Copies of this chain bind each other. A is one copy, B any other.
Amino acid sequence: MTAELTPAQLIEKHRPTLDQALDAIRSRAYWSPHPEHPKAYGEGGSLSAADGQAAFDALRGARFELDQPGSDGWTATELSPYGLELGIEYPHADVDALLPAMRTGMAAWREAGPEARAAVCLEILARISARTHEFAHAVMHTSGQAFMMAFQAGGPHAQDRGMEAVAYAYEEQTRTPRTADWSKPQGKRDPLELRKEFTAVPRGISLLVGCNTFPTWNGYPGLFASLATGNAVLVKPHPRAVLPLALTVRIAREVLAEAGFDANLVALAAEREGEGIAKVLAQRPEVRIIDYTGSTAFGDWLESHAPQAQVFTEKAGVNTVVIDSTDDYKGMLSNLAFSLSLYSGQMCTTPQNLLIPRDGITTDAGRKTYDEVVTDLAAAVDGLLGDDARANALLGAIVNPQVKERVEAAAGLGEVALASRTITNPDFPGATVRTPVIVKLDGAKPDAEAAYLTEHFGPVSFAVAVDSAADGVDLLRRTVRDRGAMTVGAYTTSPEVESLVEEACLEECAQLSLNLTGGVYVNQTAAFSDFHGSGGNPSANAALCDGAFVASRFRTVEVRKPV
């Protein structure tokens, strides 16, 4: 095979970016090579807004050709949460033919070494980045995210997380030198001398089990971490969110082939309706790594039923905010209102339980009772979403009927402080749009526990009355320990309460955001700086991204011989 792009050319092109990424993960200062603003695209080879829209439209109602081996028909399982007809058919894989084909190119991919693999991965990301406008529509019409969020979270932020994984993978593989000369003194005799060669070798085939809500953002870290460490990657998208990952696979295959590697190092396993192929794939002996985002039930199943594989999971959790006191009451309310509303609360990081002392809190606007805080927060959400156009742009669409059912059922769990409203999306009349519901619960009543100690994924929050801030911290601890949490927030002006919350998060292993009142939200993390999840509580067994996320995706083989 003649390479159109040599690995050396790709290294020359991408090494400066890789070095910046390596600096960023060490300093954890702000950095991103991927612009967030839609207007930044359209020049230098990237698709403009109009071109991205046209590219997306051209995909609809057609077969998505991938030219991968072992296809035995076509499958179409997507339904846009906006009601848009997608009608895209994907090749359905015969895994008995596909898996062996994926192994064919692994030796050459391993031989290429960590730097060439990183450069190929960065080229894939660069081409994805150039098509961010196209991806934005693909993410929007599979996840139900509003356009701007689909653009940013599904585009540059996802690409950042992918690049972060590449940087970690590169660093981890190069901690051991390629060769070493070893000379052990033997007193008066000649020293013992060996020449040692160290090679990072892959585990095997890595399986990515994608999710419906963040197909690229949650998918890229595992995909790129595994590819950069020499593994082949089989992408099994969520049946309702195939397109963003199918586009990704197609681009990856193009780049691999152009660089002289086997395109089958990355392949798609789109499934038929109700096929449940993830379970089958997860137990194949060729599959040695699994990345998964989704329900706790299936994540727990994977963790205990695929012993041949390294399993990285992100599951459900009960995210909690402790509200003790604030010197910016308005800022706190508007910050929380935004966090609860963004993408209709359908983020794994959206707060669910707001723990508020029943005797109220101290603020810069005076003492506020529990009822006042809840009422003011409800008003803040109402204000934020008062204009339908703005509400649609923030809420997006409800991703599936189960979320809608949970919103409707929430009203029956306690006193409703803020009722969920239905909003019409004039551009997409078929979209199901709901504003958040806030329900009051008493933390001291045992029968309320079943509600607030369960994840209600979607725009459902509980204002839980607690006896005191300290009592709230106890509940926070119990919640994180028993149910897990991707995020914890706290508002306090008291150093004592701050210490209590911090100690709880350190001991129960949860990521904490303190006193956010401006433009940073508890549910958002920035690649290269923030860890997404801790990997140390039941909501996830891994964090994005750290050494542990990449270190076990490869092994180091040593060959030693006398000099």
Q: Which residues of A contact B (CB under 8 A)?
A: 25-30, 107, 110, 172, 175-177, 180-186, 192, 194, 196, 198-199, 201, 203, 300, 303-304, 307, 502-503, 505-507, 509-520, 526, 529-531, 534-536, 543, 546-548, 551-552, 555-562
Contact = CB atoms under 8 A, between A and B. Distances in A.
B529 A182 contact: yes
Contacts of A516: 561-562
B196 A529 contact: yes
Contacts of A27: 177, 180
Contacts of A203: 536
A26 B558 contact: no
Contact of A176 (B28, B175, B518): B28
A201 B507 contact: yes
A385 to B, nearest CB: 23
**Considering the complex of A and B, which 3 residue pairs feature the smallest CB-CB distances, nearest first?**
A536-B555, A548-B551, A514-B561
Contacts of A507: 107, 201
A233 B184 CA distance: 33
B546 A558 contact: no
11 contacts: A29-B180, A172-B547, A196-B529, A199-B506, A304-B304, A509-B557, A512-B559, A517-B562, A530-B560, A531-B558, A546-B551
A333 to B, nearest CB: 16
Given A180-B529, A196-B530, A548-B548, 13 more contacts: A28-B198, A29-B182, A107-B503, A176-B546, A182-B529, A192-B520, A304-B304, A304-B307, A505-B557, A509-B555, A534-B557, A535-B555, A536-B555
Contacts of A182: 28-30, 526, 529
Contacts of A110: 506
A502 B199 CA distance: 11
A192 B529 contact: no
Contacts of A304: 304, 307
A294 B558 CA distance: 23
A560 B180 contact: no
A315 to B, nearest CB: 13
A543 B176 CA distance: 13
A530 B547 contact: no
Nearest to A304: B307
Contact of A558 (B511, B518, B555): B511
Contacts of A510: 557
Contact of A561 (B513, B534, B551): B513
Nearest to A516: B562
B28 A559 contact: no
B548 A26 contact: no
Contacts of A192: 518-520
Nearest to A175: B547
A201 B183 CA distance: 38
Contact of A546 (B517, B529, B556): B556
A11 B552 CA distance: 30
A510 B520 CA distance: 48
A548 B534 CA distance: 17
A184 B505 contact: no
A394 to B, nearest CB: 18
Contacts of A560: 512-514, 520, 530
Max chain B Cβ within 10 angstroms of own Cβ: one of A203, A531, A548: A548
A326 to B, nearest CB: 12
Nearest to A560: B513
Contacts of A506: 107, 110, 199, 201, 557
Contacts of A198: 28
Contact of A551 (B30, B520, B547, B562): B547
A226 B502 CA distance: 23
Given A303-B307, A526-B182, A562 B518 contact: yes
Contact of A559 (B29, B176, B514, B556): B514
B513 A181 contact: no
